[in-house]
Structure 1
Amino acid sequence: MAVLAGLAMAGTALVALPVAAQDQGKTIVGGFDVGPGGFPGNFNPLTATAGFTWLNTYYEPLVTYTADLAELTGELAEDYSTSEDLTTFTFNLADATWHDGEPFTSADVKFTFDLAMNAQSGSIFAARLGDVVSVETPDEKTAVVTLSGPNGGFLSTISQLMMLPEHILGSMPAAELAQSDWWSTSPVGTGPFSFVQYVSDQYVELEAFEDYRDGRPQVDQLINRYFADPAAAVAALRAGEIAFTYAEPDDAGSFEDDADFSVIVGDSFVLNYIGFNHRTELWDDVRVRQAVMHAIDRDAIIESLYNGAATKAQCNYVAPQYVPDDLVDYSYDPEKARSLLAEAGWDQINGTREISWVTYYDSPQVANIMAAIQSMLAEVGINVVPRVVDVPTYNGIVRGDDVDQFPMVYAGAGNGPNPAQHNINLNSGQTPPNGNNIMHIALPELDAALETAMSEADPEQMAARWQDVCRIVNEEMPWGSMWVANRYGIASNALENFVWTPAPGGGPFEMNPEDWDITAE
Structure 2
Amino acid sequence: MGRKNVNILIVILVSFFLLLAGCSSKSTENASSKDKADGAKTPDTFIYGIDGDPGNAVNVISTGDRYGLMEIKTIYSPLYMYNGKDNVEYFLAESMTASEDFLTYTAKLRKDVKWHDGEAFTADDVVYTYEQMLKEENGGWARSQLIFNNQPVKVEKVDDYTVKFTLPEVSMGAFEALGNIFIMPKHVYEGETNIANSPKNATPVGTGPYKFKEYKAGESVTFEANQDYFLGAPKIANVVYRIIMDANTATMALQKGEINAFAIQPSDATKFKDSKNVSLKPYDEGRVGYLAFNLSSKAVQSKEVRQAIAYSLNRDEINTASYVSSDYYVNAYSILPEKATYYTDNVEKFKTDTKKSKELLASAGASDLKLKLGFTANNPIQQKQAAVIQQNLQAAGITVELVGMDGTALSQKMQSVHTDFDMYLGGYIMGIDPDTFNSLFVTDSTANYMHYSNPKVDELFNQGRVEKDDAKREAIYEEIQQIIIEDAAFYPLVTNKRILAIDSRIKGIEEAGLVPVYTFEDMSKLSYE
TM-score, normalised to structure 1, is 0.84
How far apart are 1:412 and its partner, in Å?
0.9
Structure 2 partner of 1:91: 107
- The separation in 1 between residues aligned to 2:461 and 2:469, in whole angstroms, is 15
CA contact (8 A) 2:225 2:233 kept: yes
* 1:413 corresponds to 2:428: yes
- The separation in 2 between residues aligned to 1:18 and 1:167, in whole angstroms, is 40
Structure 2 partner of 1:477: 488
CA contact (8 A) 1:446 1:473 kept: yes
CA contact (8 A) 2:210 2:225 kept: yes
Residue identity in the other structure for 2:195: L
Q: Residues 100 and 438 from structure 1, CA distance in 2 versus in 1: closer, same or farther, beyond 3 angstroms? A: farther
Q: Residues 23 and 302 from structure 1, CA distance in 2 versus in 1: closer, same or farther, beyond 3 angstroms? A: closer
Residue identity in the other structure for 1:513: M
Structure 1 partner of 2:501: 490
How far apart are 1:64 and its partner, in Å?
0.8
The 3-state SS of whatever aligns with 1:80 is: strand
Deviation digits for residues 303-339 of structure 1, max 9, x if unmatched? 4443234222222135397355752220112232233
* 1:505 corresponds to 2:524: no
- The separation in 2 between residues aligned to 1:244 and 1:234, in whole angstroms, is 9
CA contact (8 A) 1:413 1:422 kept: no
- The separation in 2 between residues aligned to 1:155 and 1:231, in whole angstroms, is 42
Match of 2:414 among 398, 414, 424: 398
- The separation in 2 between residues aligned to 1:44 and 1:359, in whole angstroms, is 27
Range moving further from structure 2, 263-272 or 413-422: 413-422
Question: What are the equivalent positions in structure 2 for 1:105-254 lying under 5 Å apart?
Answer: 105-131=122-148, 132-173=152-193, 176-180=194-198, 182-183=200-201, 185-254=202-271
- The separation in 2 between residues aligned to 1:408 and 1:179, in whole angstroms, is 35
CA contact (8 A) 2:374 2:410 kept: no
The 3-state SS of whatever aligns with 1:322 is: coil
Structure 1 partner of 2:20: none
CA contact (8 A) 2:333 2:345 kept: no
Instruction: Give structure 1 stretches of 5+ with no counterpart.
Output: 1-14
**Percentage of identical aligned residues:** 25
* 1:29 corresponds to 2:47: yes
How far apart are 1:298 and its partner, in Å?
0.7
Residue identity in the other structure for 1:466: Y
TM-score, normalised to structure 2, is 0.83
Q: Residues 64 and 326 from structure 1, CA distance in 2 versus in 1: closer, same or farther, beyond 3 angstroms? A: closer
- The separation in 2 between residues aligned to 1:464 and 1:454, in whole angstroms, is 13
Structure 2 partner of 1:364: 380
Cα RMSD, aligned residues only: 3.0
* 1:314 corresponds to 2:330: no
Deviation digits for residues 200-233 of structure 1, max 9, x if unmatched? 1221111112322223222221111223254432
Match of 1:328 among 331, 342, 348: 348
How far apart are 1:505 and its partner, in Å?
2.9
Range moving further from structure 2, 482-491 or 409-418: 409-418
Higher relative contact order (CA 8 A, sep 6+): 1
State how many pairs are aligned: 484
Q: Residues 398 and 99 from structure 1, CA distance in 2 versus in 1: closer, same or farther, beyond 3 angstroms? A: farther
Residue identity in the other structure for 1:276: F
Residue identity in the other structure for 1:448: E
Match of 1:427 among 442, 452, 465: 442
The 3-state SS of whatever aligns with 2:105 is: strand
- The separation in 2 between residues aligned to 1:481 and 1:161, in whole angstroms, is 28
Q: Residues 298 and 50 from structure 1, CA distance in 2 versus in 1: closer, same or farther, beyond 3 angstroms? A: same
Structure 1 partner of 2:76: 59
Residue identity in the other structure for 2:124: A
CA contact (8 A) 1:40 1:200 kept: no
CA contact (8 A) 1:50 1:504 kept: no
Structure 2 partner of 1:11: none
- The separation in 2 between residues aligned to 1:517 and 1:286, in whole angstroms, is 54
Match of 2:470 among 459, 463, 488: 459
